Amino acid sequence: MTLADLKPGQSGEIVKIQVAGALKRRLMDMGVVAGTTVRVEKVAPLGDPLEVLIKSYKLSLRKSEADKIDVEAVA
Amino acid sequence: MADKENEDSQKAASDRKASLVIAVAGNPNAGKSTLINAMAGTRLQVGNWPGVTVEKKSAEFEYSGRRITMVDLPGTYSLSPYTQEEIIARDYLVHERPDVIINVVDATNLERNLYFTLQLLELGIPLVMALNMYDEAEQKGFRINAEMIASTLGCAVIPTVATKGEGIDRLIEMAVEFADPSKRYSSASASYGEDIEKAVQTVVENVRHRGGKPSGHEALRWQALKLIEGDELVLEETGISEDEVFLEKATHHLRKAHGEDLEMLLADTRYGLAAGLTREALQKPEKRKRELTERIDAVVLNRYLGIPVFLLSMWLIFKLTFDIAGPFTDWLDAVISGPLTRWALSLMTLIAVPDWTVSLVTEGMIAGVGAVLVFLPPIFAMMFFITLLEGSGYMARAAFVMDRMMHAIGLHGKSFIPLLLGFGCNVPAVYATRTLENPRDKALTALLIPLMSCGARLPVYVVFTGVFFSAYAGTVLWSLYLLGIMLAVMMGWIFKKTLFRGEAPVFIMELPPYRLPSVKNLLIHTWEKGKHYLIKAGTFILAISIFIWFGLNLPWGVESKKDSYLGLISQAAAPVFAPLGFGTWEAASSLITGVVAKEIVVSTMGEVYAPKACEEEQSEALTVGEDLKEIGVSFAGALGEAAKNVFSTFGIATISAGEEDTTGIKAAIARNFTPLSAYAFMVFVLLYVPCLIVLIAMRHEFGTWKWAGVAIAYQSILAWTVAFIIYQGGRLIGIG
Ligand SMILES: Nc1nc2c(ncn2[C@@H]2O[C@H](COP(=O)(O)OP(=O)(O)OP(=O)(O)O)[C@@H](O)[C@H]2O)c(=O)[nH]1
Ligand SMILES: [Mg+2]
C-alpha cells in the first residue's frame, strides 16, 4: 500500500521510500522517513496534489510521488 | 604610555573582535528575515511562504561598540542542497564560516527544524538558537523546555517572537557572547552512535593526512559525514572520488551493519535524535483544538469551492486595485497637467529661459515623467494586494490549487508563485524562479513571465480604454490580463512539446499556516515594492524622456516632429505595424522606445502628441494659493469616490485620467486609432518583447543571453501574429 492509496482523514506509517537520488534526499530532509506517521488531509480540487500532515506540518506532494512511498495503514 | 594603551587595546581586540559576522540560518519560512528586520531595523522582504529570500542579504548595526554584520540566508531544509537558493545558503555557511550562527527554529515545528539544527552543529560553528514563533507555539498550548534543548545540543536557546521583537535583546547578547573566541563554546555535537562516529573518525584522519581541508579545520566532521553520505558537492570540492579506498574501508563496517544506503542511515539517525529530543523537550496539550488554518482551508482548499475561491480572489484583487486607485490617478493627472505645469511655466518665464528649454521641461520632462507618475496609484494598489497574498499564506495555497493545471503545461504549482508576482513586476518574478528545483522549470517559467501583464503596462491600457472603451473598461482590462494568461498556457504547451521535452517536474512544498500580516508590515513592504517605480520614474524614465525629446527635436530647428531623427526612424518602422492597424510613425516611435520600459509607451505618446507649450499659456491666472486649495479639494473628492467605488460597484471602475481635455494625448489618440486598432495596439504592448530590465534579469539569473533571446524572438512573433489576427479578423467580421 502506498501513500496515494490513503483517503483524506486516513493515516499510515511510512515503511519505505521507493525513489532514488535527489528526490529521495529531499523527501527525507522534509521528514518523509521510515517510521513516521502521515495523515492525508486533503486532495486538491482538481484531484492532485495531496496535502498531508507529517511531523506536525503540512506538506503537499503529487500522487505520482506519493505512490512511491510505501505505508502501512494505522487505525 | 601611548604605546601601552595601544598594546592593551590590541590585546582586547584579540579576544574581542571589533566586528562580528552573524549568519542567520534555518528552515524556510521560520522568520529569519523578520528577525533581522527587528534586530537591524532593515526592510528585508518577508512573506508567509517558503522561499521568499532567494539571495544572501546583509544588514549592519552597532552593538556595544562593535560592528555587527547580520547575514540573511535563504531558508533551507538541509545542508545537502536541492535548489539554487539553498546552494547559496550552504556555500556561505561552509566556505565563509561566520563567527556565529543564529539558527531560527520554528517552535511549532520542532522536529523538522531540529533535524537541520543537527546539521548546522556538524559544521562546528558556535550556534545560538532562536526558538521563534513562540507566540504560536504557546497558542497551541505547547510547552517547550528550552534549557533541555540547550544542554543537549550545547548551544543557547532563546524563545523569540520576531514579529513583535520579543527576545531579540537576549538573542543578540547571547550571539555576541558565543562568538567570542576566548569563550569558544564547544558545541558538543550530539553523538551519532558508535558505528558512525568511528567511520567519521577514520575519514577525518585520512582527509587530514591528505592535507585536503578546503573548508577549514572545524568543518572536518561535517565534511567526513558528507563524504560518507556520498554528497556530490563535497566529493567534488574535496576532489575525493566516491570509490576511494579509504572511504570504502571506513564505511565497510557501516554498510555491513546498516545496509548500503548510508545517506538514508544518516537521515534516519538525525531524525531519530531530533524526534527523541522533541519528545523530551516538547509537551503538547492532551486535546488538540481545531485550528483557524484548518477551518479556513476547509473552504479555501475545498473540493468544490477551491477553484471558485481562487478565481474570486483574483477578480477581487483586480477590482479593488482599479476601484481604489482610479480616482487618485485622475487626481494626480489633474495636478500634474494643471498646477504643476503652470508653476513650472511661470518659474521659467520668471528666470527667462530660452524657448527650447521651456519645451524640454514641459513637453519632455513633465509630459514624459508625468505620464508615468499618474499610474502610481494602481501600481501601489497592485503591490499592496500582492503583499497581502504573500503575507497571509494564500500564495502557497494558490500553488496547491493550481498545480494540476500547471502540470498540463509542463510546470508545477510552485511556478505559479513567480507568475503571480509577475503581475506586479516581471523583474522580481524572474528572480523568484530561483526557488524552482530544476533548470528546465526555471527557464520555462521565466519565459512565460513576460506574458503576465505587469504594472508598467497598465498605463497603456488605461489611456486607451479611457478613450475608446470607457463604458466597459473593466471588461476590456480583464480581457487583456486573461489573454496574457491564456497565451501563457498555449506557449507553455508549445514549449513543453518543443524546447522543453523531458519529464515533468516534481512538486513538493510546505503549506504554512495562515497568518495575519500587521498593517505596518503591509505598508512597509508595499512601499518597498512600489518605490522602484517611483525611483525609476525619477531617474530612468526622466533620462529617456529627455532623450526622446531630443530625438523629436533634432536636427536642430526641425519643423515637424515627423522629420526629427526619432520621427524618421519611426517612419521607416511604421509599415511593419500597418497590417496591425497602427502603422503611424507616432505609434511606432512609442513602441520602439517602449522596449526600454513599457511605461515609456505612454511617455513617448505624451511627448509625440504634446501640444506646443506656448499655445496653452494664456488661460491661467490662478494664484498658487488657489491652486493648492483646488488640489486639496480634488484629493478629498478622490478619497470619497474611491470609498464609494469599493462599496457600490459590482463591476470594475474605470480610470478616466483627464477625460474632459480635448487637446491632450487622449484627443490625439482618438484621432489616430479606431477602437479595433486600439485593442490590437494594447494586445501588442502586452505581448511584445520583455522590457530591458527583465532581459537583464534573465541574463543575470541564467548566466546566458540564451533565454532572453528566446523571449525576444517568440514574443515578437506572438505579438505581431495575435495583433494581426485581432485587427484583420475584426475587420473581416466588420468591426472598426
Ligand atoms: N506569529 C509569528 N509570526 C512570525 C514570527 N516570525 C515571523 N513570522 C511570520 O512568518 C512569516 C515568515 O517570515 P520570514 O521572515 O519571511 O521567514 P524567512 O525565514 O525569512 O523565510 P524564507 O526567506 O522564505 O526562508 C511571515 O509571515 C512573518 O510575518 C513570529 O515570531 N510569530
Ligand atoms: Mg527570508
How does pLDDT run across B566-587, given as a tens digit for each residue? 888 888 888 999 899 888 888 9
Element (H, E) at A38: strand A37-43
Are B198 and B175 contained in the same domain?
no
Three-state SS for B541? helix
For helices B458-468 and B675-687, what crossing angle results, to 10°? 170
CA distance B485 to B386: 17
Domains held by chain A: number:
1
Q: Is residue B141 part of a domain?
A: yes
Q: How far apart are CA B87 and CA B74, in angstroms?
A: 9
> Which CATH number goes with the domain that contains A14?
2.30.30.90
The three cell numbers of residue B436 are 524552482
What is the pLDDT at residue B346? 82
Q: Exposed (0-12), middle (13-18) or buried (19+): which is A2, by Cβ within 10 Å?
A: middle
B3-45 per-position pLDDT tens digit: 444 444 444 444 567 889 999 999 999 999 999 999 999 999 9
List Cβ neighbours of B546 (8 Å cut-off, separation of 6 or more).
Answer: B360, B364, B365, B368
Higher pLDDT, B82 or B464: B464
What's the CATH number where B265 sits?
1.10.287.1770
Are B43 and B167 in the same domain?
yes
Whole-angstrom distance, CA of residue B483 vs CA of residue B453: 10
Q: Is residue B613 predicted with pLDDT exceeding 60?
A: no
Same domain? For B151 and B260 the reply is no
B130 DSSP β-pair partners: B104, B158
**Average pLDDT rounded to a whole number, residues A40-68:** 92
Residue B182 has pLDDT above 70, yes or no: no
The residues near A12 (Cβ < 8 Å, ≥ 6 apart) are A1, A3, A6, A37, A38, A39, A71, A72, A73, A74
Reported as a pLDDT band with limits 50, 70 and 90, residue B257 is: confident
Query: What is the rounded distance in angstroms from the CA atom of residue A20 to the CA atom of residue A33?
Result: 13
All residues of chain A having their beta carbon less than 8 Å from the beta carbon of residue B508 are 26-27, 30, 59-61, 65
What's the structural domain count of chain B? 2
Show residues of chain A in contact with B302, CB under 8 Å.
Answer: 45
Q: What are phi and psi of B51, to 5 degrees?
A: 105, 25
Whether the CB-CB separation of B714 and B698 falls below 8 Å is answered with: no
Please judge whether A51 and B511 are an interchain contact, meaning their C-beta atoms are less than 8 angstroms apart: yes
What residues have a C-beta under 5 A from ligand 2, the ion?
Answer: B 33, 52-53
Q: What is the pLDDT of residue B225?
A: 92
B6 compared with B524, residue with greater pLDDT: B524
Clarify whether residues B76 and B207 are in a common domain.
no
Q: Dihedral sign, CA of B630, B632, B635, B640?
A: negative
Least confidently predicted of A48-52, B215-219, B526-530, B659-663: B659-663
Inside any domain, residue B209: yes
Name the residue with the closest Cα to ligand 1, atom 30.
B133
Using the 3D structure, point to which of B139, B163, B183 is the last residue of a domain: B183
For residue B349, being part of any structural domain is answered with no
Bridge partner residues of A39 (DSSP): A11, A53
Measure in Å the smallest separation between the Cα of B112 and chain A Cα atoms: 6
- What does the pLDDT average to over B160-168? 95
Residue of chain B nearest A56, judged by CA positions: B109
Atom 21, ligand 1: residue with shortest CA distance: B29
Which residue, by CA, sits nearest to atom 8 of ligand 1? B31
Q: Considering only CA atoms, which residue is closest to atom 23 of ligand 1?
A: B53
Nearest CA in chain B to A62: B507
User: What CA–CA distance (Å, rounded) separates B129 from B585?
Assistant: 64
Three-point CA angle B248, B254, B259, nearest 5°: 105
Q: Which residues of A touch B267 (CB under 8 A)?
A: 25, 28-29, 33
pLDDT tens digits for range B649-695: 555 555 544 444 444 677 788 888 899 999 999 999 999 999 888 89
Of B183, B211, B230, the residue at which a domain comes to its end is: B183
Q: Is B625 inside any structural domain?
A: no
Tell me what pLDDT residue B677 has.
92
Q: Residue B680: its pLDDT value, please?
A: 94
Cell of B143: 510547552
- Specify the length of chain B in residues: 736
The rounded Å distance from CA B32 to ligand 2 centre is: 5
Contact between residue B442 and residue B89 where contact means Cβ atoms under 8 Å apart: no
| CA of B90 relative to ligand 2 center, distance in Å | 15
pLDDT of residue B147: 93
Name the residue among A72, A24, A53, A12 with its Cα closest to residue B108. A53
Report yes or no: A34 at the B interface, CB cutoff 8 Å.
yes
Span from the CA of A12 to the centroid of ligand 2 (angstroms) = 33
Asked if B26 and B166 sit in the same domain, the reply is: yes
Pairing of the two strands A37-43 and A50-54: antiparallel
∠ Cα B415 B537 B562 (to 5°): 105
Residue to substitute in B24, B35, B46 for testing ligand 1 pocket (most ligand atoms within 8 angstroms of CB) = B46
Pairwise CA distance, residues B16 & B179, whole Å? 9
Residue of B511, B510, B505, B512 lying closest to B437 (CA atoms):
B505
Q: What is the pLDDT of residue B433?
A: 85
Distance from CA of B301 to the nearest CA of A (A): 7
Atom of ligand 1 nearest to the CA of B52: 24
Q: Which long-range contacts (CB under 8 A, 24 or more apart) does B211-218 make?
A: B212/B238, B212/B239, B212/B240, B214/B238, B215/B94, B215/B95, B215/B97, B216/B97, B218/B97, B218/B123, B218/B124, B218/B125
Where is pLDDT greater, at B545 or A64? A64
Instruction: pLDDT band for B496, please (50, 70, 90 cuts).
Output: confident
Domain edge (last residue) among B247, B263, B283: B283
With CA atoms as reference, report the closest residue to B134 among B156, B174, B166, B169. Answer: B166
pLDDT, mean of residues B545-573: 81
Contact B234, B278 (CB under 8 A): no
Helix residue spans in B555-609 (DSSP H): 565-577, 585-593, 600-608
Does B262 lie in the same domain as B235?
yes
Place B614 in a pLDDT band, splitting at 50, 70 and 90.
very low
Domain of B241, in residue numbers = 194-283
Select the residue of A33, A58, A65 nearest B506 (Cβ to Cβ). A65
Whether residues B49 and B144 share a domain: the answer is yes
For B635, residues 6+ apart whose C-beta sits below 8 A from its C-beta are B331
Who's near B338: CB < 8 A, 6+ residues apart?
B627, B630
pLDDT higher than 70, residue B289: yes
Instruction: Based on the fold, state whether residues B142 and B227 are members of the same structural domain.
Output: no
Chain B interface, best mutation among A37, A46, A50, A69, by max B CB count within 10 A: A46
pLDDT at B542 over 90: no
Nearest CA owner, ligand 1 atom 26: B48
- The three-class DSSP label of residue A70 is strand
Distance from CA of A43 to the nearest CA of B (A): 7
Residues B69 and B202 in one domain: no
Does B304 sit within 8 Å of A30, measured CB to CB? no
Question: Helices (DSSP H) in B498-580: which residue ranges?
Answer: 519-536, 542-553, 565-577
Compute CA A14 distance to the chain's CA centroid, rounded to the nearest angstrom.
Answer: 8
Residue B183 clears pLDDT 70, i.e. is over it: no
For B275, which residue in chain A has the nearest alpha carbon? A55
Q: Relative to the CA of B76, which ligand 1 atom is closest?
A: 25
Task: Give the mean pLDDT of B256-269.
Answer: 88
Q: What is the pLDDT of residue B392?
A: 92
Q: How many C-beta atoms lie closer than 10 Å to residue B147's C-beta?
A: 10
% of chain B beyond a pLDDT of 70: 90
Residues B245 and B165 in one domain: no
State the Cα angle at B206 between B203 and B210, rounded to 5°.
135
Interface test with B, best of A14, A18, A26, A37 (most B CBs within 10 A): A26
Radius of gyration of chain A (CA): 11
Mean pLDDT over each residue of chain B, to the nearest integer:
84
Residues of A in contact with B268 (CB under 8 A): 33-35
Q: How far is the CA of B408 from the centre of ligand 1 (A)?
A: 32
Interface of B with A (CB under 8 A): 77-78, 80, 82, 108-112, 115, 263-264, 267-268, 271, 297, 301-307, 400-401, 403-405, 407, 412-413, 437, 506-513
B732 is written with which cell numbers? Answer: 473581416
Lowest mean pLDDT among B113-127, B278-292, B365-379: B365-379
Chain A, residues 2-21, CB within 8 A of chain B, namely none
Is pLDDT larger for residue B436 or for residue B222? B222
Q: How is residue B107 written as a grid cell?
A: 517552535
Does residue B501 lie in a domain region?
A: no
Residue B615, pLDDT score: 45
| Amino acid (1-letter code) at residue B263 | E
Tell me, what's the pLDDT at B3?
47
Decide if pLDDT at B1 tops 50.
no
Are B448 and B414 in contact by the 8 Å Cβ rule? The answer is no
CB contact under 8 Å between A49 and B400, yes or no, is yes
**What is the per-residue pLDDT across B96-111, written as a single tens digit (0 to 9) for each?**
889 999 999 999 999 9
Query: CB neighbours (10 Å) of residue B143?
Result: 11
Task: Return the pLDDT at B217.
Answer: 55
Q: Do A62 and B301 touch (CB under 8 A)?
A: no
Does B687 reside within a domain?
no
Q: A38 — contact with chain B (CB < 8 Å)? A: no
User: In DSSP terms, which residues pair with B102 in a beta bridge?
Assistant: B24, B128
The answer, yes or no, to whether residue B222 has pLDDT greater than 80, is yes
Q: Is B179 part of any domain?
A: yes
Residue the block writes with cell 534526499: A25
Q: How far is CA A49 from CA A2, A7, A22, B1, B434, in A?
A: 15, 13, 20, 74, 22
Answer yes or no: is B701 within a domain: no
Between B182 and B426, the more confident residue is: B426
Whether residues B215 and B91 fall in one domain: no
Please tell me the distance in Å from B507's CA to the nearest CA on chain A: 6
User: Structural domain of residue A62, as residue ranges?
Assistant: 3-74
Residues enclosing ligand 1, CB less than 6 A? B 28-34, 46-48, 50-53, 74-75, 132-133, 135-136, 161-163, 391, 515
pLDDT given at position B12: 46
Find all residues with CB under 8 Å of B4, minimum gap 6, and list them.
none
Q: Cβ–Cβ contacts within 10 Å for residue B295, how many?
A: 11
pLDDT value at B268 more than 70 = yes
Higher pLDDT, B545 or B581: B581
| DSSP, res A17 | E
Question: Quick check: A56 and B111 CB within 8 A?
Answer: yes
Integer angstrom CA distances of residue B731 from B483, B587, B592:
20, 20, 26
Is the separation of the CB atoms in B318 and B418 below 8 Å?
no
The three cell numbers locating residue B98: 561566520
**The one-letter amino acid at B577:** F
Q: Is the domain of B35 the same as that of B163?
A: yes
The better pLDDT of the pair B608, B384 is held by B384
Closest CA to B140 of B291, B15, B254, B11: B291
